[in-house]
Amino acid sequence: MSLAFTISDLRQQPQFFDTVADRIWRAWWEPNGHPLDHIRKGLAENMQETPIPLALVAHDGRTFLGTASLIASDLDERPALTPWVAAVWVEEAARRHGVGAALVDTATRACFTLGFPRAYLCARARMIGFYERLGWTLIERSLGPHQLDVFVRDADAANSPP
């Protein structure tokens, strides 16, 4: 069952800025001792009129449902790979309703619209099935200190169903 929602550029929905920063921080940065302000500063770059970084928000009116970003680099171990779909987060109540898939698809298509032939993302091992169902290909396992898996999606693959 899908939810009715809209995906917007965070620059057009700035009321979600604090929520996006909070979710990214809690999911990936707070456990490692980084302050919330560190994430707020990085997320502020998404508010500038540049194509990358780009933060997207899924929302039902004024209700935040999730976020995803398009960034230049997401893994220090692979600096040559660019760009990355990153910081994919969906609120617990909105999971399994197509929100995450739509966010990833929108961020990926934004990458291809900018002329990049390939997009990358990294995720924890438990997410392999989710990304493979969306048409992403696993290219590397257990990379770096967080043991993340690396995926790739080619622009020509985005035109065919996963």
To the question of pTM greater than 0.75 for the whole model, the response is: yes
- Angstrom distance (rounded) from CA 145 to CA 87: 17
Domains of the chain with bracketed CATH: 6-116 (3.40.630.30)
| pLDDT tens-digit map of 38-82 | 899 999 999 999 999 999 999 999 999 999 999 999 988 999 999
* pLDDT at res. 29: 87
Q: Rounded mean pLDDT of 116-127?
A: 95
- Angstrom distance (rounded) from CA 83 to CA 65: 24
Count the neighbouring beta carbons within 10 Å of the beta carbon of residue 98: 16
* pLDDT at res. 49: 92
